[in-house]
Amino acid sequence: MHVRSLGLKTDLGLLATRGTIIDRGDYLVARTPDDPGYYFGNLLVLPAPPQVGEVAHWMRRFADELGRDPEIRHVTLRWDGIVGEVGARAELEAAGFTIEIDHVMTARRIAAAPVAYEIRPLLPDEVPAIANLGYAIGDRHDESYRQFLQRRAAWKRALVASGEASFWGAFDDGALVGSLGLVPLGDVARYQDVQTATTHRHRGIASALLAASAGSQDKTLVILAMPGSDAARLYERLGFRGIEQTASACRYPSG
């Protein structure tokens, strides 16, 4: 299946470093074997948004491809597109799906003011601390979410150890207070998981991390954000420009 969207291509590129992508011709199957509960790591990718009368068909396809695993209790559909088209919104919502739109932004260079914190690449053994920071600032504080972040951190550590990616940290007196990842994917490099400790926000840390990591690349930089979010506005101030919007739908497990 040919994919037009740069945002979707980079998402699939990231997934391919951890799991498998199978091309069925008229759709893709993405699976992350080490984390079946990863909603956006176990999904179907459609060539276009589902139209009226097609939602049940794609739910059956998902069940056939991924639903036999008892640990996969969600249903996630993504589709190719560059203007955020949704298709059968009412039908998706009636089936219990939550629709999400992402703003895909790119830049060639980033400049930011220096900050009074140490900014540097993380060594492989330092990468797991990203999970602790993510848990501290997250909306969830249950054990399953902690384990999800730890599994992601193990994957990130492996990427750093193999040289496939760099993860950067901001340190205040030795404590990790901000982090992000940058993964080269051909002629582009995709940012991941930009996060700052709640105690250190609005101090320029995210900007400094983005600028420092960008300095190591001679590629088009790609980042995703929710349209109209504080993150999107920050990225615009740093020189990112929106090029497309992508859409997806997830029926999350109850509870």
Structure-block tokens of residue 164: 């496939």
3-class SS shares of the chain: helix, strand, coil, % to 5: 30, 30, 40
Mean pLDDT for the chain overall: 96
Q: Which residues contact 87 (CB under 8 A, 6 or more apart)?
A: 48, 49, 50, 51, 52, 54, 79
Within a 13 Å sphere around the CA of 164, how many CA atoms are in the beta-carbon half?
13
CA 147 from chain centre, in angstroms, equals: 17
Share of the chain above pLDDT 70, in %: 99
Residue 210: per-residue pLDDT = 97
Name the pLDDT band for 255 (thresholds 50, 70, 90): low
Asked if residues 247 and 91 have their Cβ atoms less than 8 Å apart, the reply is no
Which range (73-77, 115-119, 143-147, 251-255) has the least confidence? 251-255
Going from the C-alpha of 79 to that of each of 62, 144, 175, the distances in angstroms are 13, 28, 40
Which residue, chain included where needed, has tokens 């750093």? 160
Instruction: Domain ranges for the chain, please list them.
Output: 6-102+246-251, 110-238
Share of the chain above pLDDT 90, in %: 96
Which residue, chain included where needed, has tokens 């939550």? 98
**Could you name the CATH architecture of 110-238?**
3-Layer(aba) Sandwich (3.40)
As a whole number, mean pLDDT of residues 172-195 equals 97
As a whole number, mean pLDDT of residues 94-108 equals 97
- Is 175's pLDDT higher than 90? yes
Specify the amino acid at residue 30.
Answer: A
Question: How do strand 175-185 and strand 43-46 relate by DSSP bridges?
Answer: unpaired
Question: How do strand 75-79 and strand 43-46 relate by DSSP bridges?
Answer: parallel
Name the pLDDT band for 254 (thresholds 50, 70, 90): confident
The DSSP annotation for 91-121 comes to: HHHHTTPEEEEEEEEEES-------SSEEEE
Name the pLDDT band for 217 (thresholds 50, 70, 90): confident
Model confidence pLDDT, tens digit, residues 52-78: 999 999 999 999 999 999 999 999 999
Calculate Rg over the CA atoms of the chain.
18
Decide whether 6-102+246-251 matches 110-238 in CATH topology.
yes
Going from the C-alpha of 186 to that of each of 82, 208, 214, 218, 255, the distances in angstroms are 20, 24, 15, 11, 39
Beta-carbon count within 10 A of 39 CB: 19
CATH of 6-102+246-251, one of 3.40.50.880, 3.40.50.10490, 3.40.630.30, 1.10.490.10: 3.40.630.30
What is the C-alpha to C-alpha distance for residues 108 and 210, in angstroms, rounded to an integer?
A: 12
Model confidence pLDDT, tens digit, residues 5-19: 999 999 999 999 999
Q: Which residues contact 190 (CB under 8 A, 6 or more apart)?
A: 10, 13, 14, 182, 183, 222, 223
Residue 17: per-residue pLDDT = 97
Model confidence pLDDT, tens digit, residues 109-134: 998 989 999 999 999 999 999 999 99
